[in-house]
């Protein structure tokens, strides 16, 4: 095998890496023969030089094969969805339960927050007792018995990705189309899926801010996934505003519980959740078309079956048995909670959504280093939407903070993220189906 620094040099200089070179580098990363500095240099070289299709497939396969690859024997299709990350994107929590309530099986391997975006794993870790890192035996058992299990990446599944994922988060290489593709698909292939639906975000709160970039990433993932033997579809969804009106960890769990119980179902969040779940049912052969799938999913929500599945999953993974009945009893509340008021009257023209994600990190709800701990209680709730009319002094959101100083910084950041004027910017479609 070539030395790691020679592989880095080849990619830095724009040469195509062989399958053997990529496999050797990833094996070295898994076995600690490649240092963090070398992994960071490799990621930066890929970021600037890019990978061709063959290199993407080789990187995906090498990362998949760096650990255990699961096989399932279940009485229904094994399905999943993955989001490229956004702000207020807590779709995975209700979606997994909704699909399971419609006879799918969803073994979801979720990630920590990446860059300015929130991570499903960090949200679930805010539930007291919830085991985000169970052994594979427990993961298999809960998936089979409940229909879904959302956990973090275990030491057994795609360990090379787990290491590279943390390095990308703090080295400015998160947005690489090639690395995103390999990272997502290596985890999904290792999970033994039979079908995958991708949610590729676009807009001011997405890694792919331009719609053309998002379409390119969606096409890359679908192409590589199908080349690797995984049936995959992709939707492009809007992230020019936080998807939920809450952004943080515990506050997004509470939002997901409200959605499942029917206490609150905001149209934009519901549209994205329903569209993604419907594609999962279709790709898994559980519905003939999207219309039939949406009808089944709506029935699962309205009947309470989806909520029941979510509650059973939480309990099976160590969380409280009555979380959905009394989330306020278990989800940590920030010491400082106060409104952020509009500086002027008018219409919300635009939101710099990325700035809101960064404000959550500054509050302590995300990381600037891989080893950082997270305060699950902090974030924002009650965020108003583009097109909403506000009067001077009206709340545009509530900040949840650990102390007055961080609350003041977050208040300033949230006000700066909102542009209030007379006419909202033209809206892109919330959901775009490709092809």
Residues with a known catalytic role: 80-83, 120, 168, 183, 187-188
Q: What pairs with residue 83 in β-bridges?
A: 199
DSSP letter string, 376-387? TT-EEES---TT
Evaluated on CA atoms 138, 142, 144, 149, the torsion sign reads: negative
Q: Which residues pair with 390 in a beta bridge?
A: 346
Q: How far apart are CA 232 and CA 397, in angstroms?
A: 37
Distances from the Cα of 185 to the Cα of 189, 211, 227, angstroms: 6, 21, 11
Q: Maximum distance among all alpha carbons in the chain?
A: 65
Query: Which tokens sit at 81?
Result: 């969805």
- Name the nearest CA neighbour of 119 among 129, 131, 109: 109
Task: Outline where DSSP puts E strands in 185-294.
Answer: 195-202, 232-238, 247-248
Residue ranges of E strands in 170-315:
195-202, 232-238, 247-248
What is the three-class DSSP state of 106?
strand
CA distance from start to end of the chain: 41
């Amino acid at each position: 095998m070539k030395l790691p620094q020679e592989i880095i040099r080849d990619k830095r200089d724009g040469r195509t890496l062989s399958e053997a070179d990529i496999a050797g580098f990833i094996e070295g990363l898994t076995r600690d023969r490649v240092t963090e500095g070398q992994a960071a240099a490799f990621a930066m070289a890929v970021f600037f030089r890019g990978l061709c299709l063959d290199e993407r497939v080789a990187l995906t396969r090498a990362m998949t094969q760096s650990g255990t690859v699961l096989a399932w024997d279940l009485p229904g299709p094994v399905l999943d969805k993955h989001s490229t990350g956004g702000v207020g994107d807590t779709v995975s929590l209700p979606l997994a339960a909704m699909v399971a309530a419609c006879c799918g099986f969803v073994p979801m391997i979720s990630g920590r927050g990446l860059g300015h975006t929130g991570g499903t794993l960090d949200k679930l870790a805010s539930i007291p007792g919830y085991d985000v890192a169970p052994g594979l035996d427990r993961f298999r058992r809960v998936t089979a018995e409940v229909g879904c299990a959302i956990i973090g990446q275990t030491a057994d599944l795609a360990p090379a990705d787990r290491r590279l994922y943390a390095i990308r988060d703090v080295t400015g290489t998160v947005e690489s189309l090639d690395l995103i593709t390999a990272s997502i698909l290596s985890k999904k292939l290792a999970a033994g899926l039979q079908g995958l639906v991708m949610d590729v975000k676009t807009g001011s709160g997405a890694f792919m801010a331009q719609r053309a970039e998002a379409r390119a990433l969606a096409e890359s993932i679908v192409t590589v996934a199908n080349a690797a033997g995984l049936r995959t579809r992709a939707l492009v969804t809007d992230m020019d505003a936080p998807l939920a009106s809450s952004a943080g960890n515990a506050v997004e769990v509470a939002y997901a519980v409200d959605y499942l119980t029917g206490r609150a179902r905001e149209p934009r969040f519901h549209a994205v959740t329903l569209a993604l779940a419907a594609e999962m049912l279709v790709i898994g052969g559980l519905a003939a078309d999207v219309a039939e799938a949406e009808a089944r999913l709506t029935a699962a929500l309205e009947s309470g079956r989806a909520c029941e599945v979510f509650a059973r999953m939480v309990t099976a993974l160590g969380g409280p048995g009555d979380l959905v009945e009394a989330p306020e009893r278990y989800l940590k509340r920030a010491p400082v909670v106060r409104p952020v008021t509009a500086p002027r009257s008018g219409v919300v023209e635009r939101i710099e959504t990325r700035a809101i994600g960064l404000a959550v990190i500054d509050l302590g709800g995300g990381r600037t280093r891989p080893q950082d701990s997270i305060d699950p209680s902090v974030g924002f709730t009650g965020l108003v939407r583009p097109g909403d009319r506000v009067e001077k002094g009206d709340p545009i959101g509530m900040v949840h903070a650990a102390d007055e100083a961080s609350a003041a910084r977050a208040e300033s950041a949230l006000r700066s993220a909102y542009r209030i004027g007379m006419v909202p910017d033209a809206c892109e479609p919330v959901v775009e189906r490709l092809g």
